[in-house]
Structure 1
Amino acid sequence: MKQIVWCCLVAVSLFACKPKDYTKYTHDPFLYAKTVKQLNDVVLQNNFSPVVASRNYAYANIAAYECIAAGDSSYRTLHGQIRHLPQMPRPAAGQQVDYQLAALLSFVKVGNAVTFPEGVLMDYYEQLKNGADSAGMSSDMLDATVAFSDTISATIMQWSKKDQYAQTRSSEKFTVLNEDGRWVPTPPMYAQAMEPHWCDIRPLVLDTCTQFMPPAPPKFDLSNKNSAFYKDLMEVKTTVDSLNEEQKHIAEFFDDNPFKMNVQGHVMFATKKFSPPGHWMNIVGIAAKKAGADFNTTVAAYTQTSIALFDGFISCWKAKFSSNTVRPETVINKNIDPEWRPFIQTPPFPSYISGHSVISAASAEVMTHFFGEPFQYTDTSLVEFGIKERSFKSFRQAADEASMSRLYGGIHYRCDLEEGQKVGYQLGKYVVTKLELKRKSSSAVQATQPVAAR
């Protein structure tokens, strides 16, 4: 009996002395998806507009990606690919760094810096460090990883401050022209134009914000029932007036209104959902998990998709505020039926072209590049808001549906969708072609363990 007890004690002692594999924690791709969701929730809770949200996601993901590229020779830095991105710092010589943990910490630190309230993500930042410590990472490696992450975060933040974002906060107010065919604020909020100077923001990959400009929209014409504008207008009205349950679900599923104002009698209250870029960030996580993507591939997919979202909004906003096209709701209320309302709430900016069509098509091209086509998945992003999931055979099918949701919702003309998708497709292809994240050389070996700085 004593021998049995002794053997058990020895076994327990040996097991307790066995080093923990901290990489099971720090290299878990789902942990990165969870970390992106943390930022997504902050964006949601603090009412960031879709265009500003795209900036938050892009800089945070780029910071994470540069950590991965520093430790994995099969990935290329974005320095030299994004023309204005500076060269990234390297770890101190001889330091053992866990580059995956550095990516997580850099994402959070940059995400924290570009959002508010101040310090909103830093409790989660501490959780990540404590998790690595509890998983068995040595204090020396943890310190070296934090130090390296800090240098990347500081470099990305310094670079981000030169993108004209601060200057657009004080740009001249947009002037509303109360003329036929021109955009004016819409009910129930009658909010001023959202980010009218966003086209002044520095792009990441585009040469200029006009690189993929669509043709001019159909001329405003209600006098001729055969005019392209009149036909598009009436299609919006008749579509909304005869929606079936499937079309309603599609409209609600891709509504993605980050701040919907509800009116019930004399009571007004707001409800929140993910904005379009937040929705697509969620889809990246769903796809990466289903594909069984490793940590580094997951970070790369998030990063390139966020870059497409960021440049997509810059391109789209240039088109919107150049054409300054009136929304269907305004025209129908003024000329056909003053009581008519769209199925979803009209957002506060011009109609042509559809932003959701642009960024969905662009995101779909990037994600198809990473995960292939067909790629069947179920999007559960809206379940937390009480909206049933939808399943898709490909990312392009989802992008098509996201685009059509704007017609079902009654907030866009068909030309907004078709030309928006063309711009998004071209832009997405350009981002995939322009940026080589994964090296083509088959001899590159992925670093799965921490490596010392070279």
Structure 2
Amino acid sequence: MLKRFAVLGIFVFALQACSTKSEYKTFLHDPLLYSNTVHELNTVVMGNNFPPMVASRNYAYAAIAAYEVMAAANADKYESLGGQLNGLSTLKLPAIHPEADWQLAALMSYMKVGESVTFPEGSMKAYEDSILTLARKKGLPKSVEAASREFADSVSAAIIRWSKKDNYLQTRGAEKYTVTDEPGRWVPTPPMYATAAEPHWMEIRTMVIDSASIYEPAPPPAFNIKDKNSKYYQEVIAIKNAIDSLTPEQKHIAEFWDDNPFKMNVTGHVMFGSKKFSPPGHWMSVVGIAAKQAKSDYPETIYATAKTAIALFDAFIQCWYVKYKYNTVRPETVINQYIDINWRPYLQTPAFPEYTCGHSTISSAAAEALTSVYGDNFAYTDSTELEFGIANRSFKSFRHAAEENNWARFYGGLHFHNSCIISTDIGQKVGGHIAKKLRMKKEISSSQN
């Protein structure tokens, strides 16, 4: 009898040991950890005051790196983006070591590329160390960690090499925007009077669309503030009247979609900055919310993040091509100069031309990407802004959210509504094009089910 209990005791101990040894997998294989890591990069981007188009570059390359790790480990269900994205050849990667944990490798690759694309090395180190420390406590073997790191570094190196050829570094020393007194041309706006942001962003290499000019919108209404019957004058008066009589609901919509990465607050002689997630950061958060609600597994969470990040990246390039082609003045400048010198928009005007609307363009593109993953009529509550003291908003679909964003930029006093409508249409085309062209998730035939 004693011998039987001894054997039983050894068996129970072995089960407990196996459970403890694999506990790290429960932690590392939770898709919420990936979404939390995306949020961490979002926080680092916010802390560094990067403008939204630059932020989209961090998100896109990081997400693609994680995706390539995942696709290599799940080749039966997902296809590599090598040979599909502009300038990215088929990746020549080593075979994944049997001991490698691909979910950990995806996290490592995401963090390494996310910080390397723009930030100084080590920006994500404290966060990565915290993950590894906890995973080790939960039984992560050194051999598994080392094998995962090796594969992550191989993928990261390939994506970083590719990123360095996108013309970003060349645009750092490009000619600055020239301010002139030409009527209708963009000039810096209060309170910062900052110089025009990224006037050469349209020169960045796109990922999927053939060129920044692939979808050419109609020109904006001709500048004509004197003729009260002109389309331009009517747009100006419409936005002035709207801001002068905003309802509480309209103010909430404007604030919710403000996404100003660095707002300059002026109180008397005191000036201080406040930060929030930028527009692409907001949509990266929405991906995490959708993935959690849909109970997406780890691969699908990475897939949705990468597809959305690519759409955001290309949409910014397309929009910036239009912005600096027309260099249109902001409503605030026109109204101050010709109608009311004391008028101010509800939100702070960003430092780049008015037409077309960046937030509307990228939001519609992101909505199309997400719709291609989770379907239309995917109702959800967006809690992104809660950490900034702004109440949640609920939407019937991603397209519904993008449509609200359209109005948000008008309610904020930042864009004429004509610009928002056209931008929404262009964003849908960019996002739809990307969703249709990219081959990422493989279709499983009925015979395989």
Quickly name the TM-score band, shorter chain normalised.
over 0.9
Of the candidates 68, 71, 74, which is equivalent to residue 72 of structure 1? 74
User: Are 1:365 and 2:368 an aligned pair?
Assistant: yes
SS in 2 for 1:262: strand
Question: Are the equivalent residues in 1 in contact too, given 2:113–2:160 (CA < 8 A)?
Answer: yes
**Range with greater deviation from structure 2 (118-127 or 355-364):** 118-127
Change over 3 Å in CA distance of 1:125–1:443 after alignment to 2:
farther
Correspondence for 1:165:
168
SS in 1 for 2:384: coil
Change over 3 Å in CA distance of 1:246–1:7 after alignment to 2:
farther
Q: TM-score, normalised by structure 1?
A: 0.94
Question: Are the equivalent residues in 2 in contact too, given 1:56–1:111 (CA < 8 A)?
Answer: yes
- Give the drift of 1:179: 1.3
SS in 1 for 2:215: coil
- Give the drift of 1:9: 5.7
- Give the drift of 1:133: 3.2
Correspondence for 1:17:
17
Correspondence for 1:109:
112
- Give the drift of 1:399: 0.4
- Give the drift of 1:12: 5.7
Correspondence for 1:451:
none
Structure 1: distance between partners of 2:272 and 2:8: 63
Of the candidates 287, 309, 316, which is equivalent to residue 290 of structure 2? 287
Change over 3 Å in CA distance of 1:305–1:191 after alignment to 2:
same
- Give the drift of 1:26: 2.0
**Range with greater deviation from structure 2 (198-207 or 368-377):** 368-377
Q: TM-score, normalised by structure 2?
A: 0.95
- Trace 1:212-251 onto structure 2 (pairs within 5 A): 212-251=215-254
SS in 1 for 2:443: coil
Can you list the C-alpha shifts for 1:332-385, whole angstroms capped at 9, x where unaligned?
000100000000000000000000110000000111111112111111111111
Structure 2: distance between partners of 1:310 and 1:445: 35
Can you list the C-alpha shifts for 1:176-200, whole angstroms capped at 9, x where unaligned?
1211110000000000000000000
Gaps of 5+ in 1: 447-454
Of the candidates 260, 265, 287, which is equivalent to residue 262 of structure 1? 265
Structure 2: distance between partners of 1:360 and 1:444: 38
Structure 2: distance between partners of 1:86 and 1:27: 29
SS in 1 for 2:284: helix
Gaps of 5+ in 2: none
Structure 2: distance between partners of 1:109 and 1:93: 18
Structure 2: distance between partners of 1:130 and 1:227: 65
Can you list the C-alpha shifts for 1:135-181, whole angstroms capped at 9, x where unaligned?
33433222111101001001111110000000000001110121111
Correspondence for 2:89:
86
Of the candidates 23, 30, 33, which is equivalent to residue 31 of structure 1? 33
Q: Which amino acid aligns with 1:43?
A: V
Instruction: Give every structure 1 segment of 4 or more consecutive aligned residues whose post-TM-superposition deviation is greater than 6 Å.
Output: 2-8, 443-446
Structure 2: distance between partners of 1:197 and 1:152: 29
Structure 2: distance between partners of 1:328 and 1:349: 12
Structure 2: distance between partners of 1:316 and 1:24: 42
Structure 1: distance between partners of 2:421 and 2:95: 51
Q: Which amino acid aligns with 1:54?
A: S
Q: Which amino acid aligns with 2:92?
A: P
Correspondence for 1:43:
45
Structure 1: distance between partners of 2:130 and 2:268: 45
Q: Which amino acid aligns with 2:253?
A: I
Structure 2: distance between partners of 1:175 and 1:287: 42
- Trace 1:196-345 onto structure 2 (pairs within 5 A): 196-345=199-348
**Range with greater deviation from structure 2 (140-149 or 122-131):** 122-131
SS in 2 for 1:97: coil
Identity of aligned residues (%): 51
Can you list the C-alpha shifts for 1:48-104, whole angstroms capped at 9, x where unaligned?
100000000000000000001101021000012113112223334754322211111
Instruction: Provide the aligned length of Structure 1 versus Structure 2.
Output: 446
Question: Are the equivalent residues in 1 in contact too, given 2:256–2:385 (CA < 8 A)?
Answer: yes
Structure 2: distance between partners of 1:406 and 1:93: 47
